Amino acid sequence: MSFEYISYEKKEDGIGILSINRPKVLNALNWDTLRELGKFFEEVLPGENLKALIVTGAGDKAFVAGADIAQMNSMSAREFKEYVDYAHKVYQLLEDDPCPSIAAINGYALGGGCELALACDIRIASEKSKMGFPEVKLGIFPGWGGTQRITRVLGLGKTKELVFTGEMIDAEEALRIGLVEKIVPHDDVMTEALALAGSIAKRGPLAVRLSKTAINAGSEMDLQKALLLEKTLVSLCFDSADRVEGMQSFLEKREPSFTGE
């Protein structure tokens, strides 16, 4: 499948790199880019059997500077609703896919771009990154999950401060408040993301995928239901070739060779 506004590479070690590719407009998400992302998450990613997916932005300046303002400005209310509905579906596909995802934030991650990073499992940011929700400056508010996913990460007060003011924060502040997990030198973002992905890729793939489901789905349930889900999924994991190999390799003092089965 060929794409114009995104690029995708699968490396030999089972790590995929997905890049939003409109650097002239700081990788702003227009309809065509969103549609390509939707096709990727729906039709490509599930068949790739990746051990980890890195999501990043093309160029040296931005991860994604948000929704495409020029295109939004010319939309009717009906078109805007379709655009928003579709973006919700795309971000949900990414969040729900069992493959672990890492946002390699290489510059501006604003509005819909920050929301895209939040739909990933783990966020690594370049020291030059700027993040935030400038939507209120445009007379709208974050509507691709930003008022919801971010609240679960930052809590109500910090979310409201960011959303109500529309001010950007730098990477240090993003790390301090828990919006990103790690800051790295600007030129090292991809190297660090690959190292993190590589460390995940060495582990039992089934265990990693099922733990993502347990964490994500469990966080939306009350504790007793979440614990039941955890018990069920970890029992499923126990009944796998990966579990046999993992425990056997420990006892034989060698590196495991997992198959994901």
Instruction: Show which residues are catalytic.
Output: 115, 135
In this structure, what token pair is assigned to residue 80? 């805007």
Q: Tell me, residue by residue from 179 to 218, as one string, x for binding to ligand DAK by CB under 6 A and - for no binding.
A: ----------------------------------------
HEC readout, 243-261: HHHHHHHHHCCCCCCCCCC
Nearer to ligand DAK, 130 or 212 (CB): 130
Cβ contact 106:165 at 8 Å = no
Cβ contact 196:180 at 8 Å = no
Task: In angstroms, give the least distance from the CB of 117 to ligand DAK.
Answer: 12
Cβ-based neighbours of 138, under 8 Å, separated by 6 or more: 69
* Distance, C-alpha 11 to centroid of its chain: 18
Query: Segment near ligand DAK (CB under 6 A), from 47-55, 61-69, 181-189, 249-257?
Result: 61-69
Cα–Cα distances in angstroms (integers) from residue 143 to residues 28, 88, 114, 134, in the given order: 15, 8, 11, 12
Chain position carrying tokens 């060779």: 257
Nearer to ligand DAK, 103 or 214 (CB): 103
- Given 7, 10, 11, 84, the residue binding ligand DAK (CB under 6 A): 84
DSSP 67: B
Q: Tell me, residue by residue from 89 to 128, as one string, x for binding to ligand DAK by CB under 6 A and - for no binding.
A: -------------------x-xxx----------------
Cα–Cα distances in angstroms (integers) from residue 149 to residues 54, 95, 113, 120, 153, in the given order: 19, 10, 13, 11, 7
Task: In angstroms, give the least distance from the CB of 38 to ligand DAK.
Answer: 15
Amino acid present at 230: E
- Given 70, 195, 227, 244, the residue binding ligand DAK (CB under 6 A): 70
Amino acid present at 218: G
Report the C-alpha gap between 161 and 180 in whole angstroms. Answer: 17
Query: Segment near ligand DAK (CB under 6 A), from 12-20, 67-75, 174-182, 224-232?
Result: 67-75
Residue at shortest CB range from ligand DAK: 143
Strands (E), 2-57: 6-10, 15-20, 52-57
- Given 93, 136, 138, 177, the residue binding ligand DAK (CB under 6 A): 138
Task: In angstroms, give the least distance from the CB of 107 to ligand DAK.
Answer: 8
- Given 14, 16, 100, 143, the residue binding ligand DAK (CB under 6 A): 143
Task: In angstroms, give the least distance from the CB of 209 to ligand DAK.
Answer: 29
Report the C-alpha gap between 110 and 138 in whole angstroms. Answer: 13
Contact residues: ligand DAK, CB under 6 A: 25-26, 28, 65-70, 84, 108, 110-112, 134-135, 138, 140-144
